[in-house]
Structure 1
């Protein structure tokens, strides 16, 4: 028995080492992006074979030499200055992203909270079947709904406008599904007690359900922000004018010779997502767990 107890920690240690290795492996690209953004343009060029570092190949030719470095020789904010001061397109596209993503989040959270409350706490004819329709639309690939969305948006005359991105995003099905799963875990005793005290549906929703659903709402906000901050297909299809395009398309406009600018732009691009996650981390974890969402 003592021998068994002595070695019982080995599986836990192996699992911890495995998960730690995966975490480090996923953090390495982020670390390289941050540190490379603090290098000068010349150092970036030397490291990535852009300034004449050539090696002989087996076939007798020449090839570029790539030297991945974690720490820069000298800390430099040159690339950030280039992105924020010398490239006004970055700030304009940043504002475009914010102007589209924030209304989508506010609108979808509001619509999803109301619909989720109805599906989770109200009893009406066809409730479960209607929720099944929501699930079916959520499971459909984005490319399947792209053509009908394009036809509807074109018929409404919303092409090449922010509304072409915002309106379909507000009525997404994912928020309804996630909040419904979360609200279903709230005991009916709370709502029944409120009804006995004379509270109406709006009072129950606003003063009881929403405060209890804060973790689910926070998790939904984080997931929606990450999803729509990184959207690519919708802006390419619905926004023809470059002046209206969001920040998610900015990196594709950077020349391959300006690697340092790409690193700095990438760091600035992912900063809002990281800050939002850190701010709502505890709510996010609790909300995902109680909603039953699995990655």
Structure 2
């Protein structure tokens, strides 16, 4: 096979190097805030004050409002002296931070688990059975999925108030369990499973339970993990739901509490932010391959 002219090869090489450098710079730009947060979490409070100046200032003793004023800014990625004092304070000396962390776990884990179970059953029904009513219902799921949470906030609050679960964790967990996002993704995946697989299973005497557990679930494994990870990240970072549904701040998750930490100690805010990132980072690193496969191929196989 004849090679392309030297000019074309040099041009391709240039664009390849250019896009590689460009994407690397974009990646560094996106990772920079995270690197600064981790580095500052190991700094002493004295060094943080020296780098960022007076971060918080009160204008009036009778005015509770505060503003952020940066008199001196010196972003550093390497601390002068590594200190674990911020983490010791968060993990051992002050129980508020750990309590808020476990509030997040108590809210998010049931939502992710039960939403996945409900979504799998609903998606299997949408994929297996045909009918006009099913198509209308699936269309409504899509419409609900496209609506932002702020649009459904008032109906959710009214329903929670009718059920008497306002100011309880159920007011957040129940709407999360029946969210339509997972149903849409998993139904799309299961529709791609070849009908021949299901027909062959039926000839072997398999029932609906066997078809669901032994064919649909294994072929949807990547999509299931993608849904679990995306839902975990979404609800781990929720803010509006707890603020509206939970008036008792003792039930607020760490995502709400993070915005209030820096009003007392900026160094603690960095440490808590790092702890807050750990669960999502662990899940991502563990299931990166499944996530990429689930997004790229919708978790199924082409029929």
TM-score normalised per structure 1:
0.92
Matched, 1:99 2:106: yes
Matched, 1:229 2:236: yes
- Of 5, 18, 21, the residue aligned with 1:17 is 21
Q: Which residue of 1 aligns with 2:10?
A: 6
Q: Which residue of 1 aligns with 2:49?
A: 45
Name the SS of the counterpart of 2:125 in structure 1.
helix
- 2:167–2:248: 8 Å Cα contact kept in structure 1? yes
Name the SS of the counterpart of 1:249 in structure 2.
helix
Deviation at 1:63, TM superposition (A): 7.1
- 2:166–2:246: 8 Å Cα contact kept in structure 1? yes
- 2:262–2:268: 8 Å Cα contact kept in structure 1? no
Q: Which residue of 1 aligns with 2:214?
A: 207
- 1:84–1:91: 8 Å Cα contact kept in structure 2? yes
- 1:182–1:287: 8 Å Cα contact kept in structure 2? no
Q: Over the residues paired in the alignment, what is the CA RMSD in angstroms?
A: 1.6
- 2:52–2:70: 8 Å Cα contact kept in structure 1? no
Following the alignment from structure 1 to structure 2, what is the Cα–Cα distance between the partners of residues 63 and 175?
Answer: 43
Q: Which runs of 5+ in 1 are unaligned?
A: 52-61
Following the alignment from structure 2 to structure 1, what is the Cα–Cα distance between the partners of residues 7 and 191?
Answer: 46
Q: Which residue of 2 aligns with 1:240?
A: 247
Deviation at 1:257, TM superposition (A): 4.9
Matched, 1:265 2:284: no
Name the SS of the counterpart of 2:183 in structure 1.
helix
- Of 179, 185, 189, the residue aligned with 1:178 is 185
Distance change >3 Å, CA 63–CA 276, structure 1 → 2? closer
Distance change >3 Å, CA 202–CA 63, structure 1 → 2? closer
Matched, 1:157 2:161: no
Q: Which residue of 2 aligns with 1:70?
A: 77
Following the alignment from structure 2 to structure 1, what is the Cα–Cα distance between the partners of residues 233 and 156?
Answer: 22
Matched, 1:81 2:82: no
TM-score normalised per structure 2:
0.89
- Of 139, 143, 149, the residue aligned with 2:150 is 143
Q: Which runs of 5+ in 2 are unaligned?
A: 56-68
Following the alignment from structure 2 to structure 1, what is the Cα–Cα distance between the partners of residues 214 and 131?
Answer: 22
